[in-house]
Amino acid sequence: MIKLMTIKITILIASLLIFLQTSSAIADEASILQEKYLSLTEQLKINQFKRPIHLDSVESSSTIKGDIYAVIDYPFTTVDGTLNEPKQGPVNWCNVLILHVNTKYCRVTNGNKGPIINLYVGKKVKQELADTYHLQFDYRTAITTKDYFRVDLNADGGPLGTKDYRIVLEAVPISNKQTFIHLTYAYGYGLAGRVAMKTYLNTVGSGKVGFSKMEAVDTGTPQLQDAAEQYVGGVRGLVERNTMRYYLAIDAYLSSLNEVPEKRMEQRLNKWFSATEEYPRQLHEIDKQEYMQMKNEELSRQKILP
């Protein structure tokens, strides 16, 4: 009897320690994001975007990652209940992702470990699904508390030799009406992926840039100094453009929630396109009429196809 009680007490203590460690780790995640918000106070107020956002990107020999930190004018409970909800969250994410000009189809299915977001991506024009690339994102609610959440979307494989796709959203409240979010978009690539991206960047993607500015070259002439400033290009420019597109899609989706259901999608499409046109150097691809017609046809296709 004494031995049995000792075993039970040991198990209870071990469980308590695990709980305390987990709780501490979650508290650390929330605290880190709150501290990030405080450290970016000035950058969020004054920046090239004319929005309370801050963008970073990092490139290595085999990975690329973009991060956006932003203040959005929606209560934390709204953001949490919309994009971090176990049942409806994956469907809501599909409604976010379909706004992206390269997304051709999005549908949620049930996998062995939870919801799967089936995303089909392709060109910035009308395209048959058979000609697009299929990514399967596992949807996971990683952490949820009353004042912090993190949701992870992960896909093992992607187009043109890319892999290990991650879309991560975490958030904390900063007032009753505002939320501070951190959006990460990242993926990896091997030799085949590097060759494919190099081909893209030398052809269709030639001349396209991101948002981060390279260090200006001193021309010695003040009048020409602005012309010496250059934006990052290549893979960093590519990931920055797409990170921004996904952030704008989240904002457009949340902005439509107060609209009557039958008008929400049209409002999202209009808001997303208008927001991208604020940054034509980086994000302009097609005109509005073409975008709206293409998206309405893609949305109709989603209702028909399984």
Is 1 inside a domain boundary?
no
Q: Which residues contact 70 (CB under 8 A, 6 or more apart)?
A: 44, 51, 52, 53, 54, 180, 181, 183, 247, 251
Domain of residue 133, CATH code: 3.30.530.20
Is 3 inside a domain boundary?
no
Is 23 inside a domain boundary?
no
Q: Which residues contact 105 (CB under 8 A, 6 or more apart)?
A: 98, 118, 119, 120, 129, 132, 298, 301, 302, 305
**CA nearest neighbour of 124 among 205, 184, 225, 17:** 205
Strands 114-121 and 133-145: antiparallel
The alpha carbons of the chain give a radius of gyration, in whole angstroms, of: 22
Is 12 inside a domain boundary?
no
Residue 250: give the domain boundaries: 40-304
Whole-structure pTM value: 0.87
Is 27 inside a domain boundary?
no
Is 226 inside a domain boundary?
yes
Is 172 inside a domain boundary?
yes
Is 32 inside a domain boundary?
no
pLDDT tens, the chain, 306 aa long: 565 555 555 555 544 443 444 455 566 899 999 999 999 999 999 999 999 999 999 999 899 999 999 999 999 999 999 999 988 999 999 999 999 999 999 999 999 889 999 999 999 999 999 999 999 999 999 999 999 999 999 999 988 889 999 999 999 999 999 999 999 999 999 888 778 877 878 887 788 999 999 865 444 545 444 444 589 999 999 999 999 999 999 999 999 999 999 999 999 999 999 999 999 999 999 999 999 999 999 999 998 876
Q: How many domains does the chain have?
A: 1
